[in-house]
């Protein structure tokens, strides 16, 4: 009992450590970095991306000693502190940055919101995310920031189990910033957990085309794809193939029941497949190609979120031949030794796939 009370007391202290002070409208003018300072910031971002946060922090602090009003250095510093993690210090730096009139204001608000959410102040976090979203929406030049804002917003709703609202903000962010890996990963999780099975696969595939630096997320995204495309079960006693369909799956993103049935059937070996000596890996990749082809031809899906975002991406991937690389990457991540041999023998194809995927732009509306 005493141990429980102590833990509760510590949690209360930690939550209170993040101030709930009001954030005033920015009044200060930010000073852009010099060319030399920009180099230091880029070096810091590179360290951050490699999770070497202490080194990144030192780069940003060096810039801020020379230029304390540099908003981008303040933002990158706050972001690295948050990931270190030193969330109290990150909050302090982000609140300082939010005093400046700069293009990073929405990102400062989103980061402060993330700290508030981590400390249990989800209502205050949501209020900040809404302000940040409005800032980005009001300035078309800031649309690239919607991914960051919506991702943090989505995390808060996800933690509160408000999945419909999480889906909505994430979809808005992905539509504006299709290259944001975290937003597609979180949406893949939410889609999968709320029975949007094929949309979950599509979001997971997009994530895998953007990120290979987070092993846990990469493994989870591959598992989502494999679960959807796995071979149907065979009854050991009768030899019959069992295919199970969810008849109450939500349909606001489209009716995917037929595709789940057809894609299950493509995993069944036929006499022709056996004659052609097709391996299970080859059949798996064919399943990916078949599914993408069917989805891209369905005109009813074109008005949905996935029809405007993930399906065009997957269709372009298939036409460029990169679905094969995606398939082997998924299998390799799952521990398939033959797939590992393929990726090791085809490093150029793997690199080209990632470069193509990160550079991909959604079709103009």
State how far the Cα of 44 lies from the Cα of 61, in Å rounded to an integer. 10
State how far the Cα of 147 lies from the Cα of 173, in Å rounded to an integer. 4
Domain boundary among 58, 87, 102: 102
Instruction: Report pLDDT for 243.
Output: 53
Domain boundary among 52, 85, 102: 102
- Structural domain boundaries enclosing 280: 249-359
Asked whether residue 20 is assigned to any structural domain, the reply reads no
Q: Tokens 């991540």 identify what position?
A: 333
Cα four-point dihedral sign 116, 144, 137, 153: negative
Task: State the DSSP string of 109-162.
Answer: HHHHHHHHHHTT-HHHHHHHHHHHHHHHHT-GGGGGGHHHHHHHHHHHHHHTT-
Cβ distance 23 to 95 under 8 Å?
yes
Q: What is the pLDDT along the chain (365 residues), one digit of tens a residue?
A: 333 333 333 333 333 344 445 778 899 999 999 999 999 999 999 999 999 999 999 999 999 999 999 999 999 999 999 999 999 999 999 999 999 999 999 999 999 999 999 999 999 999 999 999 999 999 988 988 999 999 999 999 999 999 999 999 999 999 999 999 999 999 999 999 999 999 999 999 999 999 988 999 999 999 999 998 876 555 556 555 555 556 567 888 888 877 877 776 655 444 454 445 678 898 899 989 999 999 999 999 999 999 999 999 999 999 999 999 999 999 999 999 999 999 999 999 999 999 999 999 998 87
CA of 275: how far to CAs of 257, 269, 278, in Å? 30, 10, 8
Count Cβ neighbours within 10 Å for each residue of 268-291 and write b for 16 or more, e otherwise.
eeeeebeeeeeeeeebbbbbbbbb
The total of structural domains in the chain comes to 2
Asked whether residue 14 is assigned to any structural domain, the reply reads no
Asked whether residue 218 is assigned to any structural domain, the reply reads no
Cβ distance 56 to 45 under 8 Å?
yes
Asked whether residue 332 is assigned to any structural domain, the reply reads yes
Long-range contact list for 354-358, CB < 8 A, 24+ apart? 354/209, 354/210, 354/212, 356/317, 356/320, 356/322, 357/206, 357/209, 357/210, 357/317, 357/322, 358/179, 358/209, 358/210
Instruction: Report pLDDT for 168.
Output: 97
State how far the Cα of 237 lies from the Cα of 310, in Å rounded to an integer. 40
Asked whether residue 192 is assigned to any structural domain, the reply reads no
Asked whether residue 122 is assigned to any structural domain, the reply reads no
Domain boundary among 81, 102, 123: 102
Q: What CATH number does residue 60 fall under?
A: 1.25.40.10
Asked whether residue 351 is assigned to any structural domain, the reply reads yes
Instruction: Report pLDDT for 347.
Output: 97
Instruction: Report pLDDT for 234.
Output: 58
Q: What is the rounded (10 degree) CA torsion for 209, 176, 295, 224?
A: 50
Asked whether residue 135 is assigned to any structural domain, the reply reads no
With both helix axes pointing from N to C terminus, report the angle between 105-118 and 122-137 in degrees, rounded to the nearest 10.
Answer: 160
């Amino acid at each position: 009992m005493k141990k429980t009370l102590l833990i509760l007391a510590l949690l209360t202290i930690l939550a209170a450590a993040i101030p709930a002070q009001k954030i005033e409208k920015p009044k200060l003018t930010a000073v852009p970095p010099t060319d030399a300072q920009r180099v230091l910031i880029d070096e810091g971002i590179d360290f951050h991306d490699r999770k070497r946060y202490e080194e990144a922090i030192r780069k940003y602090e060096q810039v801020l000693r020379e230029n304390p009003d540099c908003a981008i250095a303040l933002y990158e510093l706050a972001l690295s502190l948050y990931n270190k993690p030193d969330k109290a210090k990150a909050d302090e730096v982000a609140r300082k940055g939010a005093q400046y009139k700069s293009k990073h204001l929405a990102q400062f608000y989103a980061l402060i919101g993330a700290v508030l959410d981590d400390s249990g102040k989800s209502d205050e976090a949501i209020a900040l995310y809404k302000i940040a979203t409005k800032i980005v929406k009001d300035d078309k030049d800031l649309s690239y920031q919607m991914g960051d804002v919506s991702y943090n917003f989505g995390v808060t709703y996800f933690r509160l189990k408000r999945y419909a609202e999480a889906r909505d903000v994430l979809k808005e962010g992905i539509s504006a910033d299709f290259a944001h890996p975290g937003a597609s990963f979180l949406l893949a999780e939410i889609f999968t957990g709320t029975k949007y099975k094929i949309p979950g696969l599509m979001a997971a595939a997009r994530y895998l085309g953007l990120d290979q630096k987070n092993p846990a997320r990469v493994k989870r995204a591959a598992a989502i794809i494999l679960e959807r495309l796995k071979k149907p079960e065979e009854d050991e006693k009768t030899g019959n193939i069992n295919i199970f369909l969810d008849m109450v799956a939500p349909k606001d993103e489209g009716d995917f029941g037929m595709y789940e049935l057809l894609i299950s059937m493509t995993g069944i070996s036929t006499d022709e497949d056996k004659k052609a000596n097709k391996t299970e890996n080859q059949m798996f990749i064919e399943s990916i190609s078949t599914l993408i082809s069917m989805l891209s031809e369905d005109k009813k899906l074109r008005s949905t979120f996935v029809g405007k975002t993930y399906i065009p991406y997957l269709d372009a991937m298939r036409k460029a031949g990169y679905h094969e690389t995606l398939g082997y990457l998924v299998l390799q991540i799952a521990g398939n030794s033959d797939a590992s041999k393929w990726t090791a023998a085809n490093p150029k194809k793997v690199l080209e796939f990632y470069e193509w995927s990160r550079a991909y732009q959604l079709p103009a509306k």
